[in-house]
Amino acid sequence: MKILAIESSCDETAAAVIEDGRNIISSVIATQVEEHKLYGGVVPEIASRRHCESINGVVKEALSQAEMKLDDLDALAVTYAPGLIGALLVGVNFAKGLSLSSGLPLIPVHHLRGHIAANYLEHKDLKPPFLCLVVSGGHSHIVEVRDYTEMTVIGKTRDDAAGEAFDKAARTMGMPYPGGIYLDKAAQSGDPDAFKLPRPKLSGNPYDFSFSGLKTAVINLIHNAAQRGETLPTADLSASFRKTVVDILLTNFISAAEKSGYDRLVLAGGVSANSLLRKRTEQECKNRGWKCYYPPLQLCGDNAAMIGSQAYYEFLSGNTAGMKLNAAATMDIAAPVY
Ligand code: KG4
Ligand code: ZN
């Protein structure tokens, strides 16, 4: 089954043709990152405009690289939630138009389910059930993936997402958007024990996260040093921050796996590109005789290939949409409404 998938939830306009949920026939991404860099983060209005300008060309290019026409496809798929509403609407309306004119069925895909599915494109043996840590710019979830379209969130952030914390700490250190990547690089040459940073103490659900205290602590350290006319060593601060975030994520992820009996752990989302998170998850799994999976770097960030992969499984579960499909800025990964 060949699916043309479209993704426009944030600042990448992407289209891909995917076969049977597992094989990438073509994948095209037009990123807007250089323009948003000027403002230190994504400007939603600019993102929507650029999606409008790029989407036609990106979809054409994905079909051309696949050497296919609409007639060669079996279905269309689109990210409809969650994300920036104006950005999502561009993809959703384009996909609806294409579905109406071609008669192809339209499959709505939840963006975070797509991030999880990025793993299916790389690891052909990976099948649910498994436990997944979904860490992106807007979300930090521990998800029990019981089946391709059946999941339960067993822990999540109560405030900032991990990616957001990375980006804000990096910005305060003077790094460009998206800061997580730059902070990860700077951390390579730093001492992770140079700064002792706070870890959250939360009551209630033991698998929930919190990153706002840590983020504020780093921002205060930098501002206090600046008031004294000092600058802190960026590499050491980056390494200490990265280690603390990874410790917070893995403490809950590992204990959730131990408690619920999962021995296959999967990383997903933009932050799964973090080199320490990948290394440490691998080590923790190896120590316990568990299996560890994460996407290749080019599939960690936003792309349409992952949307086409998840779309295949949504289609098999009967999840298609009609012309009433709307975009939504927020949507539960466990119980999407189409
Ligand atoms: O999944 P994604 O591409 O977009 C959303 O759906 O939000 O995630 C983007 C986030 C950004 O916050 C970015 O800084 C972070 O992923 N990120 C990283 C790394 N690469 C991307 N964070 C830490 N280390 C990295 N290497
Ligand atoms: Zn994403």
pLDDT tens sequence across 86-144 = 999 999 999 999 999 999 999 999 999 999 999 999 999 999 999 999 999 999 999 99
Q: Across the chain, where does the E strand assignment appear?
A: 2-7, 12-19, 23-31, 75-81, 106-110, 130-135, 140-147, 150-156, 264-268, 291-293
Query: Number of folded domains in the chain?
Result: 2
Residue 100's domain spans which residues? 2-116+299-316
Indicate if 307 and 166 belong to the same structural domain.
Answer: no
What residues does 131 pair with on adjacent strands?
144, 265
Does 221 fall in a domain?
A: yes
Distance 33 CA to ligand 2 centre (A): 14
Indicate if 246 and 291 belong to the same structural domain.
Answer: yes
CA distance 305 to 282: 25
Percent of the chain with pLDDT over 90: 98
Ligand 1 atom index nearest CA of 170: 14
Tokens encoding 19: 């076969």
Ligand 1 atom index nearest CA of 275: 26
Does 323 fall in a domain?
A: no
Nearest to residue 5, comparing CAs of 106, 117, 124? 106
- Say which ligand is closest to the CA of 137: 1
Does 278 fall in a domain?
A: yes
Indicate if 101 and 67 belong to the same structural domain.
Answer: yes
CATH assignment of the domain containing 57: 3.30.420.40
pLDDT tens by residue, 265-310: 999 999 999 999 999 999 999 999 999 999 999 999 999 999 999 9
Testing ligand 1's pocket by substitution, the residue of 12, 116, 166 carrying the most ligand atoms inside 8 A of its CB is 166
Distance 37 CA to ligand 2 centre (A): 17
Distance 229 CA to ligand 1 centre (A): 32
Indicate if 98 and 17 belong to the same structural domain.
Answer: yes
Residue 335, pLDDT above cutoff 90: no
CA distance 247 to 244: 5
Give the model's pLDDT for residue 336.
Answer: 87
Answering whether pTM is above 0.75, one says yes
Does 333 fall in a domain?
A: no
Indicate if 103 and 246 belong to the same structural domain.
Answer: no
Three-state secondary-structure class, residue 209: strand
Does 122 fall in a domain?
A: no
Instruction: Answer whether 138 contacts ligand 1 (Cβ < 6 A).
Output: yes
Indicate if 79 and 138 belong to the same structural domain.
Answer: no
Indicate if 79 and 182 belong to the same structural domain.
Answer: no
Indicate if 96 and 149 belong to the same structural domain.
Answer: no
Instruction: Answer whether 128 contacts ligand 1 (Cβ < 6 A).
Output: no
Testing ligand 1's pocket by substitution, the residue of 32, 136, 211, 280 carrying the most ligand atoms inside 8 A of its CB is 136
pLDDT tens by residue, 194-222: 999 999 989 999 999 999 999 999 999 99
Distance 158 CA to ligand 2 centre (A): 19
Instruction: Answer whether 10 contacts ligand 1 (Cβ < 6 A).
Output: yes
Indicate if 57 and 86 belong to the same structural domain.
Answer: yes
Does 6 fall in a domain?
A: yes
Distance 83 CA to ligand 1 centre (A): 14
Indicate if 303 and 269 belong to the same structural domain.
Answer: no
Does 87 fall in a domain?
A: yes
Nearest to residue 334, comparing CAs of 106, 139, 176? 139
Residue nearest ligand 1's atom 20 by CA: 181
Indicate if 28 and 98 belong to the same structural domain.
Answer: yes
Does 252 fall in a domain?
A: yes
Indicate if 288 and 200 belong to the same structural domain.
Answer: yes
